[in-house]
Chain A
Amino acid sequence: MDFSFFITQTISGLTMATLLFLVASGLTLIFGVGNVFNFAHGSFYMIGAYFGYQLVAVWEINFWLALVLAGIGAGLVGMLAEALFLRRIYGRPNEGGFQILLTYCFILIIDDVVKLVWGTEYKSLPRPHGFTGAVNFGDIFLPAYNLLIIGVGVVVVVAAWWILARTRPGKIARAAAVDREMVDTLGVNVPLTMTLVFGIATGLGGMTGALAAPLRTVTPGAGIEVIIDSLIVVVLGGMGNFWGAWLGAILIGEVNAFAVAFLPKWASLFSFLVMVIVLIFKPEGLFAPRQVRKV
């Protein structure tokens, strides 16, 4: 294998990894802070993609602005869903099961609402101006938009780390993850924090949907196929861990990229295989958060 192919394949793996991570980051955030497993996260990704399509292709709004608006839109839907429904089941016995059931209902409802609004036709978004071309280094050929996506991934992971580790809201969120009651006693409005966190997470999912739309198809059912893969990433990285999710995504992306190059027949088996192997040896994930002991 020559060097330029190695680089090209690595970068193409990174593109896939970054989009995986961006979806997974919202999932891991809700899980880490709120202990909520949002099965419908892929549906918020899909909503974001449709918002992006509506804003850019129909209303002809600037792509970058649309990206932000799509994220905000999906986040608002998410906050609504949390405040109206999800909040009511916190603290029930077997809450985990109810979370799966309830968020599964979100999937069913959102799928049909999207179909009612936008129909079943496939939609597509063109790549924004200035990012339609590619960068060349000799034999290495890198599409500008793919590089942009990788950049966004790095920005998100650093920003998330900075917010969670260094700012007050981030600290509150992390504290709420450890002991909700204690944070409540300290005078923090925990339900509101939860709704906001849910909004940010689904907003991230929505923005990713819009960001991925120029490379993918905007279609009903688009949410289902991203959810299992991002789940794998979240579990690999250790649930609730941002850096872990990022590294987990890169691991899956690169394993996949090189499996495609050398064992194309079996490539689709590898992501599950990696997950099984990692979980057998490190059930809590590669980069599990340090266990905080509750007294």
Chain B
Amino acid sequence: MTMKISRTNTAAALWCLMIIGFALVPVLMTSTYQLNLACHVLIWGLFAVAFNMLWGVTGMLSFGQALYYGLGAYFVGLMVEYLGRAWYLPAIGIGILAAALTAFLLGLIVIRVGGVYFTMLTLAFGQLAWQIMFKWYEFTGGDDGIQGIIPPGILANPIVYYYGLLVLVMISIWMLKRMAYSPFGLILRCVRQNPERVRFLGRRVRRNQLRVYIISSLFAALAGSLMAGVDNSIHTDMFFWTTSGEVILMSVLGGLNQFFGPFVGAAVIIMIEDIVGAWTEYWSLIIGTVILVMVIAFPKGLVGELHQLKLRLTQLRARRSQ
């Protein structure tokens, strides 16, 4: 009992530490670029964690989450472009609602199939959405994207925006974590491991799949809408399959079975991209090799392996003290 309490306390302490760490970025930074990098880590981190609810927890590998990420971003971009800056914040909410609705409607179609067919169907819808955004250039700006998306009022200040973003991302991740370890999360895990038994327990597999698909998608939309204000410009690339692919890479690299794995994976991939990209034009060779080695060497993902290491160390210590 005491141990449990102390562990909860340390968990809370570490949460605080993480929040404080990110909160200190604007104070400690030596350039606004670092702030920008922190924004990217937070947003991709949220996107990856939300994605992992779908894949790592429920076992549904979607190759089309870029659709919702892009949807969130484009709701903000288009509403600011056509209706004015004041619509920035409402657009985030409307975008999330629209994403949830889209996820509900598409979800009815895509969750009917499982496994690799689910993956392919989500890819097909994602690419269809990308093509539409790309082609509808009178309205969306097509490949030129939308520029000049400046948040209203005090939010136009990058530091203020950063804190707003930090609060939203942390609340979202906390909510997702609560969900992952709630009874609902438990059912989702059962859905992954043995859908038949979930049925025997009197729970509906599809309904739970649809729920988690909607939840994951609306958080992806939130991540996308937050990104619009970071770079002040958005682009159809956000809908492209490579965006969906990137978030898969982040999750695998960080560790699928760890709640924070995808978040760490996102941070690592963004760091590697920037550091190697700044250093050499042969980034693709180097990043490819580095990730290849990681994939072969760390089958549980980065966080999973660290977790394993810690376990082994404790066992070793326990054996020694015996």
Q: Which A residues contact B (CB, under 8 angstroms)?
A: 37, 85, 88-89, 92, 94, 96-98, 100-102, 104-109, 111-113, 116, 228, 231-232, 235, 239, 266, 268-269, 272-273, 275-276, 279-280, 283-284
Could you say which of A37, A116, A272, A275 has the most chain B C-beta atoms within 10 Å of its C-beta? A272
A113 touches B299 (CB 8 A): no
B128: nearest residue on chain A (CB-CB)? A272
The interface residues of chain B lying within 8 Å CB-to-CB of A109 are 284-285, 288-289, 292
B250: nearest residue on chain A (CB-CB)? A101
Known contacts A96-B61, A232-B124, then 12 further A-B pairs from the complex at CB < 8 Å, ordered by chain A residue: A89-B296, A97-B61, A97-B248, A97-B252, A101-B252, A108-B284, A108-B291, A112-B282, A112-B284, A112-B288, A235-B120, A280-B109
Q: In the complex, what's the smallest C-beta–C-beta distance from A234 to chain B, in angstroms?
A: 9
B127: nearest residue on chain A (CB-CB)? A272
Bound state CA distance, A107 and B121, in angstroms?
23
Bound state CA distance, A231 and B288, in angstroms?
22
Bound state CA distance, A101 and B289, in angstroms?
12
Bound state CA distance, A284 and B117, in angstroms?
7
B295 touches A269 (CB 8 A): no
Q: In the complex, what's the smallest C-beta–C-beta distance from B100 to chain A, in angstroms?
A: 21
Given A101-B291, A108-B287, A112-B282, residue A88 in contact with residue B124 (CB < 8 A): no
The interface residues of chain A lying within 8 Å CB-to-CB of B241 are 228
A101 touches B249 (CB 8 A): yes
Bound state CA distance, A91 and B113, in angstroms?
23
B134: nearest residue on chain A (CB-CB)? A268
B135 touches A279 (CB 8 A): no
Our pick among B109, B116, B249, B299 for the contact of A37 (Cβ within 8 Å) is B116
Q: At the interface, is chain B mostly helix, strand, loop or mixed?
A: helix
Q: In the complex, what's the smallest C-beta–C-beta distance from A138 to chain B, in angstroms?
A: 37
The interface residues of chain B lying within 8 Å CB-to-CB of A280 are 109, 121
The interface residues of chain B lying within 8 Å CB-to-CB of A97 are 55, 61, 248, 251-252, 256
For the A-B complex, the count of residue pairs with Cβ-Cβ distances under 8 Å equals 102
A-B contact pairs, 11 of them (CB 8 A): A85-B292, A89-B296, A92-B299, A94-B252, A94-B256, A98-B252, A108-B284, A109-B288, A109-B292, A272-B124, A279-B117
Bound state CA distance, A227 and B251, in angstroms?
23
Top 4 A-B pairs ranked by shortest CB distance?
A108-B288, A112-B285, A283-B113, A109-B288
The interface residues of chain B lying within 8 Å CB-to-CB of A105 are 288-289, 291-292, 295
Bound state CA distance, A183 and B121, in angstroms?
32
B117 touches A283 (CB 8 A): yes
Given A100-B248, A272-B124, residue A85 in contact with residue B296 (CB < 8 A): yes
The interface residues of chain B lying within 8 Å CB-to-CB of A113 are 285
The interface residues of chain A lying within 8 Å CB-to-CB of B109 are 280
Bound state CA distance, A96 and B118, in angstroms?
13
Given A272-B127, A275-B124, A276-B124, residue A101 in contact with residue B295 (CB < 8 A): yes
The interface residues of chain B lying within 8 Å CB-to-CB of A94 are 56, 252, 256
A96: nearest residue on chain B (CB-CB)? B61
Q: Which of B124-143 contact A (CB under 8 A)?
A: 124-125, 127-128, 131-132, 135
B135 touches A269 (CB 8 A): yes
B195 an interface residue at 8 Å Cβ cutoff? Answer: no
Bound state CA distance, A101 and B245, in angstroms?
9
Bound state CA distance, A88 and B170, in angstroms?
37
Q: In the complex, what's the smallest C-beta–C-beta distance from B63 to chain A, in angstroms?
A: 8
A266 touches B248 (CB 8 A): no
The interface residues of chain A lying within 8 Å CB-to-CB of B56 are 94
The interface residues of chain A lying within 8 Å CB-to-CB of B249 are 100-101, 104
Q: In the complex, what's the smallest C-beta–C-beta distance from A101 to chain B, in angstroms?
A: 5
B289: nearest residue on chain A (CB-CB)? A109
Our pick among B121, B284, B295 for the contact of A98 (Cβ within 8 Å) is B295
Q: In the complex, what's the smallest C-beta–C-beta distance from B310 to chain A, in angstroms?
A: 20
B130: nearest residue on chain A (CB-CB)? A272
Given A98-B295, A112-B282, residue A104 in contact with residue B116 (CB < 8 A): no
Bound state CA distance, A97 and B184, in angstroms?
24
B112 an interface residue at 8 Å Cβ cutoff? Answer: yes
Q: Which of B254-311 contact A (CB under 8 A)?
A: 256, 282, 284-285, 287-289, 291-292, 295-296, 299
The interface residues of chain B lying within 8 Å CB-to-CB of A269 are 128, 131-132, 135
Given A97-B256, A108-B284, A279-B124, residue A268 in contact with residue B116 (CB < 8 A): no
A89 touches B285 (CB 8 A): no
Q: In the complex, what's the smallest C-beta–C-beta distance from A157 to chain B, in angstroms?
A: 22
A111 touches B291 (CB 8 A): no
Bound state CA distance, A239 and B55, in angstroms?
21
B253 an interface residue at 8 Å Cβ cutoff? Answer: yes
Given A235-B120, A266-B135, residue A89 in contact with residue B252 (CB < 8 A): no
A89 touches B288 (CB 8 A): no
The interface residues of chain A lying within 8 Å CB-to-CB of B287 are 108
A88: nearest residue on chain B (CB-CB)? B296
The interface residues of chain A lying within 8 Å CB-to-CB of B55 are 97
Given A232-B124, A239-B116, A272-B131, residue A101 in contact with residue B296 (CB < 8 A): no
The interface residues of chain B lying within 8 Å CB-to-CB of A106 are 288
The interface residues of chain B lying within 8 Å CB-to-CB of A284 are 113, 117
B123: nearest residue on chain A (CB-CB)? A231
B287: nearest residue on chain A (CB-CB)? A108
A101 touches B116 (CB 8 A): no
Q: In the complex, what's the smallest C-beta–C-beta distance from B271 to chain A, in angstroms?
A: 17
The interface residues of chain A lying within 8 Å CB-to-CB of B124 are 232, 235, 272, 275-276, 279
Q: In the complex, what's the smallest C-beta–C-beta distance from B304 to chain A, in angstroms?
A: 10
